[in-house]
Amino acid sequence: EKGGFPSFMDKEIHDQPKAVADTLRGRFGLDGRLQLSEMNIDESILKSVDKIVVIACGTAAYAGQVAKYAIEHWCRIPTEVELAHEFRYRDPVVTEKTLVVAISQSGETMDTVMAVRHAREQGAKVIAICNTFGSTIPRESDGVLYTHAGPEIAVASTKAFLSQVVACYLLGLYLAQLRGNKYNDEIQVILSELEAIPGKIEQILEGTKQQITDFAIRHKHEQSVLFLGRHVGYPVAMEGALKLKELAYIHAEGFAAGELKHGPIALIDEGQMVIIVVPSQRGRDSLHAKVLSNIQEVRARGANAVVIAEEGETGVEEFASEVFYVPETTTLLAPLLATVPLQVFAMELATAKDLDVDQPRNLAKSVTVE
């Protein structure tokens, strides 16, 4: 059942190393190449795809946002992400060369089901990324890539989210391999980075969980929390904010860090908590430097700056009131690690407020009405 944990959510957060490993398992042929056997769509069709549209709701839509960064980088295929309920009702441009990717843990979210039907009526091919074998969305799609997170009971999604992100990477790498573009050499490197992720999630849960719990208890009276991130850190920020709303009923918003100066900075005053997802210090220097200056900007206005950063990061301690370190990985894979402290924060803060973390008020695990 709960495996000795106080809640299903706590258990499912700890299931994440296995969920990621299981979603990666069995995806390789004897030649070492990626094989997505349930894909069921002709290779020639996949080669001629000229646009990808990811549709989903809630947390699954943030997995889609991460997919956009990865797929566009690896495959050079224009990729849009849209909330399924918006996509369905705005007459989107979808053709036979569009590949629609529908992400859903339950496979029963009616908004997403309707969007899948609409896409197929326009002649698009649809791939489902789904955690529930034989559910409506995979049944109504052309192909499927199952996430192997195991049953997720807590309403707020955790392990399903990480395995959706993994499935999106696999899809992107598979398309890159199939289309034989210049990122082919990167595929093996990224796959071995992916293999190392479960161990790194364990490190976070073993090394940082207590620090986050203590921090959450100290901040249980917080009224509003802002989350900032850039590049793949942006969907992580939005997911962190969603978790906090869902579980702790605290007003929370995720922003693209670059957008701060265009409006949200007006919200910052003395004591405002701002959680900032800092990109890797290696590699994309300009990105890192810009997020660091965002920390200084909010600090200068009195914010309580809380930072998620990679181990080895040297630039944040002097500005942050609290830093949660996560192990290093490549830029595009970082959401698999940076999200974990935010899940734990939301859960522990809700627990400190004596709320039901598995069954938050007004929410359902699977919303089967439009």
Task: Report if residue 60 touches ligand BG6, rule: CB under 6 A.
Answer: yes
Q: Which is nearer to ligand BG6, 23 or 112 (CB)?
A: 112
Structure tokens at 120: 């197929």
CB-based burial label for 189 (10 Å; 0-12, 13-18, 19+): exposed
Count the alpha carbons within 13 Å of 313 in the hemisphere toward its beta carbon. Answer: 28
DSSP alpha helix (H) spans, 256-334: 285-300
Q: Would you call 220 a catalytic residue per the annotation?
A: no
Catalytic residue among 51, 290, 353, 365: 365
Q: From the list 136, 157, 163, 331, which residue makes contact with ligand BG6 (rule: CB under 6 A)?
A: 157
Contact stretch for ligand BG6 (CB under 6 A) within 4-12, 54-62, 206-214, 276-284: 54-62
Choose which of 41, 114, 205, 367 interacts with ligand BG6 (CB under 6 A).
367
Among 59, 141, 147, 294, binds ligand BG6 (CB under 6 A): 59
- Dist CA 312 CA 306 (whole Å): 17
Q: Can you tell me the distance from the alpha carbon of 104 to that of 131, in angstroms, rounded to the nearest whole number?
A: 7
Interatomic CA distance for residues 279 and 189, integer angstroms: 19
Cβ proximity to ligand BG6, 65 vs 106, nearer residue: 106
Element (H, E) at 304: strand 304-310
Sheet with 79-83, strands from edge to edge, namely 79-83, 51-56, 98-104, 125-130, 143-146
> Whose Cβ is closer to ligand BG6: residue 242's or residue 260's?
242
Contact between 83 and ligand BG6 per CB under 6 A: no
Which of 7, 16, 98, 106: binder of ligand BG6 (CB under 6 A)? 106
List 283, 289, 363, 370, residue binding ligand BG6 (CB under 6 A): 363
Size of the residue set binding ligand BG6 (CB under 6 A): 15
Q: Does 57 bind ligand BG6 (CB under 6 A)?
A: yes
Q: What are phi and psi of 87, to 5 degrees?
A: -55, -45
109 binds ligand BG6 (CB under 6 A): yes
Q: Whose Cβ is closer to ligand BG6: residue 156's or residue 241's?
A: 156
CB 230 within 8 A of CB 256: yes
**Closest separation between CB of residue 170 and ligand BG6, Å?**
18
The binder of ligand BG6 chosen from 53, 94, 116, 156 (CB under 6 A): 156
By CB under 6 A, is residue 58 in contact with ligand BG6? Answer: yes
C-beta closer to ligand BG6: residue 112 or 294: 112
Which residue in 23, 65, 79, 104 binds ligand BG6 (CB under 6 A)?
104
* Nearer to ligand BG6 among residue 108 and residue 186 (C-beta): 108
CA 22 to chain centre: 17
Task: Pick the stretch among 29-37, 154-162, 195-203, 231-239 that binds ligand BG6 (CB under 6 A).
Answer: 154-162
* Residue 318 to residue 321: CA distance in whole angstroms: 8
Q: Does 172 bind ligand BG6 (CB under 6 A)?
A: no
Q: Which CA distances in Å does 169 have to 17, 185, 236, 278?
A: 16, 15, 15, 21
Residues 263-282 that bind ligand BG6 (CB under 6 A): none
Count the residues in the chain.
Answer: 370
**Is the CB of residue 339 less than 8 Å from the CB of residue 355?**
no
CA distance 287 to 304: 22
In the complex, the smallest distance separating the C-beta of residue 249 from ligand BG6, rounded to whole angstroms, is: 14
Residue tagged 């992107």 (tokens): 172
For 108, other C-beta atoms within 10 Å of its C-beta total: 17
List contacts with ligand BG6 (CB under 6 A): 57-60, 104-106, 109, 112, 155-157, 363, 366-367
Residues labelled catalytic: 365
